[in-house]
A = this chain, B = another copy of it.
Amino acid sequence: MEPARRLSPMLERMWGREPAPRRGPRPRIDLATITAAAIEIADADGLAGVSMGSVASRVGVAATALYRYVGSKEDLLTSMADAVVPAPPEPGGRPWRDYLAQWTKAQRDIVLEHDWLLSISRFAPPLGPRRLLWLDRALAALDGTGLDDGEKINVASSLTGYALTDAALVHNAGSGFGEFDETDIGGVSDYGDLLAEVLDPETYPALSAAVRAGALGGVEGWVDDEDFRFGLGLLLDGVERLIARRASEGRTR
Query: A residues touching B (Cβ–Cβ < 8 Å)?
Result: 3-11, 15, 78, 118-119, 121-125, 127, 132-133, 135-137, 139-140, 143, 148-155, 157-158, 160-162, 164-166, 168-169, 172-173, 177-181, 184, 186-188, 191, 193-195, 197-199, 203-208, 210, 213, 215-216, 219, 222-223, 227, 230-231, 233-239, 241-242
A72 to chain B, nearest CB (A): 10
For A216, list chain B residues within 8 Å (CB): 153
- A237's closest neighbor in chain B, by CB? B238
Shortest Cβ-Cβ A-B pairs, 3 listed: A161-B165, A234-B238, A8-B180
Whether B178 lies near A124 (C-beta < 8 A) is yes
Whether B231 lies near A157 (C-beta < 8 A) is yes
A214 to chain B, nearest CB (A): 8
A interface majority secondary structure = helix
Whether B140 lies near A188 (C-beta < 8 A) is no
Whether A125 lies near B180 (C-beta < 8 A) is no
For A135, list chain B residues within 8 Å (CB): 207
A61 to chain B, nearest CB (A): 25
For A149, list chain B residues within 8 Å (CB): 210, 213, 215
| Given A10-B179, A125-B179, 8 additional A-B pairs, CB 8 A | A122-B178, A125-B191, A127-B177, A132-B204, A150-B215, A158-B231, A158-B234, A165-B165
- List 17 A–B pairs whose Cβ atoms lie within 8 Å, in order of A's numbering: A6-B188, A7-B186, A7-B188, A8-B181, A10-B179, A15-B198, A118-B123, A123-B172, A125-B169, A127-B195, A139-B206, A140-B206, A149-B210, A149-B213, A154-B231, A164-B165, A238-B238
Whether A222 lies near B150 (C-beta < 8 A) is yes
Total identical chains? 2
Partner among B9, B157, B222 whose Cβ is within 8 Å of the Cβ of A169: B157
Whether B206 lies near A143 (C-beta < 8 A) is yes
For A123, list chain B residues within 8 Å (CB): 118, 165, 168-169, 172
Partner among B139, B165, B188, B230 whose Cβ is within 8 Å of the Cβ of A151: B230
A123 CA to B210 CA in the complex, in Å?
Answer: 21
Partner among B10, B15, B194, B237 whose Cβ is within 8 Å of the Cβ of A127: B194
For A155, list chain B residues within 8 Å (CB): 234
A194 CA to B33 CA in the complex, in Å?
Answer: 25
- A189's closest neighbor in chain B, by CB? B5
Whether B238 lies near A5 (C-beta < 8 A) is no
A237 to chain B, nearest CB (A): 4
